[in-house]
Structure 1
Amino acid sequence: MAHGAPTRAAGDVRGPGAARARDRRVRVPASAAHATAAAARDAHGQRRDGRDDPHHAHGDAAAGAAAANVLPESASAIVNLRVAIGERLDDAVDDIRRLVGPDVEVEVLTGGDPAPISPASGPGWEALVAALASSHPGVLPAPYGMLGATDGRHFTGIGPVYRFFPFELSNAELGGLHAIDESIRVSSYLRGLRFYEELLRRL
């Protein structure tokens, strides 16, 4: 499963009337990797260096000058990253360093490698499939890559972890996740609860 984390880039800009970058530092929070900044992509979102990039990155916060007509003494940016399945955080951080160049210091703030891929077989999987057939007749489970990090990553040493979400969401409900007035329909909520009831009976 994919893993996510923020990346901070900070740098000093000094010089009499000139914006000369110095001692710039980029802090890259670890749970994400492959920092691909907007500057490294063209208008179509493709990497300018021609390399394939399976990861996802976007800017979360940036800070610099106090006003538009003031040269900043320092600048910083935080980039949230996602490490692709099968990739490692260390490789992603190395890629970030290559993209930003040798004059920028990259520091991992927090994060880790993607969680192991959960098998589509075995007792846990069979219990999930049976519970879904009872709560959502006609719906078949299908493996997919989850971009977000969950607490399930802390339990992968015990056995397979399935980040399964048994609630049907409309496009509007999906767009409201982690937003003001986040909500789902009562019918979808109750149907999801039934799935968990059926799953617990089978464990």
Structure 2
Amino acid sequence: RVTDAGGRAEVVVADVADEAQARLAVEHAVSALGRLDILVNNAGLMLLGPVTDADTTDWRRMIDVNLLGLMYATHAAIPHMRGQGGGHVVNVSSVSGRGASPTSAGYSATKWGVGGFSEGLRQEVRTHRVRVTVIEPGVVATELTDHITHQETKSAYEGRIGQITPLEPEDVAAAVVYAVTQPERVNVNEILIRPLDQG
């Protein structure tokens, strides 16, 4: 689709939880395309479940992908953006980065971490003309629920979201496009976007 629209696309298969692979993906983009203007950190896992019955490997998986993967890719990208005189880092968080529920403690912890990292980064890199935006979607029609390992939580969550019309991925993409197409003087710090039906 990118090619059909007149652009150029490069594909790199990488596990962002592996720092070397996250760095390689960034380096490949710079090598192939000559520069890096926008980094969208969108990889994530939502392994909901109560703390009491938690499989703590779920926590590690979410921290590795949702938080450390985002940090690794950003760490690799910032020197390129600074060197070229600007850029934009977009970190996809969640409404769970603003609040928590009885089954989202682990997930929310990672998304609150994204918020804290993003704000500290924004203050650090603004003098280098690098902008930082956090996108916080509510329920989106994706495969996230497929990965929930706690079956009781999975069933309850699917039942709850089955009663609303979720956001489509294109809605979140439109929020990203809005943030990155503002005039250079504007840094959209946060966009919270929920389905109309979501309480």
> What TM bracket, shorter-length normalisation?
under 0.3
* TM-score of the two chains, using structure 2 as the length reference: 0.24
| Greater strand share, structure number | 1
TM-score normalised per structure 1: 0.23
**Structure with greater Cα Rg:** 1
Report which structure shows greater RCO (CA 8 Å, sep ≥6): 1
